[in-house]
Amino acid sequence: MPATRTTFAEDIAFGKIEGLVSVILDLEDAVGENEVHAAEESLVNQMNKLATFIEVGILHTDNLPLLFVRVRSVNQLNYLIERLEENVALLTGFVFPKFTADNGEAYFQILENYNDERPPSAPMLYGLPILESGPVIYKESRTHTLQTIKEILEQYKNLVLNVRIGATDFSSLFGLRRSPDMTIYDITPIRDCVADIINIFGRVDASYVISGPVWEYFPQKGLVREVIMDKENGMIGKTIIHPTHIKPVQSLYAVTHEEYTDATSIITSNNGDHGVIKSAYANKMNEIKPHLSWARRILLRSQIYGVLHEEQQYDGLLLKHNRAYV
């Protein structure tokens, strides 16, 4: 959501966007060079208004979505933390675009300093680095850059909420743009880089949450295909540009009854008595050790997105008031 949006506080307070659970207020790509100052002022004003809605009881903090601000630079991060004053406590964190080995340390150092000095009642702020710069995708520098970025994130791991892939910026470096009929996985230079990012940050022992690249078209057919590919590659969540995309993305991350049944069976059978068990759906074998990490991820996802009823499919969640969870 552009930080220039002047109805942001009202949209949140009065629940105008159904299913909204997190928002990024964008001061970077969604704001023109000549709009930066106005966008900063608008953000401060809207946060003041949001705080007022909470103070007078119009909005309860339990109903506040997770709020993030996407900054343009390290200097702007410093400025906003000071300018927002106590209202910075309404945020969950900041998004760091074009995160590199050169600027990453500075971003997280500012965040750590704030968290160390924040009032006892204020929640921690988290960082969401976006990997979208040339050194990350260019083959000659990619491995070294990703390893260096990981070393930085390891130092501040308790503050890293998510690692996002910025495929739009990656594509622009090659003069490319996926069409609405294609997914980002059909664009070979991007696909290669995504594979390496997952290889570095998606390992079980790394335990980073990687989110999929933004889908920039209004039609949902391509979005659905891309989210399915995101999920198959271990990513969780996706940046969206329109409220109509909320339900499809959230629905596709719900765990199917078959996945839940298999995962539960694998976890409960991890006692040394069996190496392989038959799926309750009688269509596959479940190997305890090789599938254990997958099963744990499925159960964790089920706690967040829920589990579909055994007779329901993903599209059942798109129908208003339809019961699709067990």
Residues 6+ apart with CB under 8 A from 152: 101, 104, 105, 108
Residues 288 and 269 sit within 8 Å (Cβ to Cβ) = yes
How much is the pLDDT for 319?
A: 61
In angstroms, rounded to a whole number, what is the distance separating the alpha carbons of residues 174 and 305?
36
Residue 56 burial by Cβ neighbours in a 10 Å radius (0-12, 13-18, 19+)? exposed
Tokens of 257: 């009854």
* Cα pseudo-dihedral 69, 306, 298, 273, rounded to 10: 150
Q: What is the separation of C-alpha 217 from the centre of its chain, rounded to a whole number of angstroms?
A: 18
pLDDT of 260 over the 80 cut: yes
Please give the mean pLDDT across all residues of the chain: 94
Each domain of the chain, given as residue ranges in start order, spans 8-244, 257-318
**pTM of this prediction?**
0.93
How much is the pLDDT for 207?
A: 87
Q: Which fold has domain 8-244?
A: TIM Barrel (3.20.20)
How much is the pLDDT for 326?
A: 47
How much is the pLDDT for 74?
A: 97
Tell me, what DSSP letter sits at residue 17? S
Instruction: Grade residue 314 by pLDDT with cuts at 50, 70 and 90.
Output: confident
Residue 210: strand pairing partners: 163
Q: Among residues of the chain, what percentage have pLDDT more than 70?
A: 97
Tell me, what DSSP letter sits at residue 276? E
Tokens of 165: 């892939």
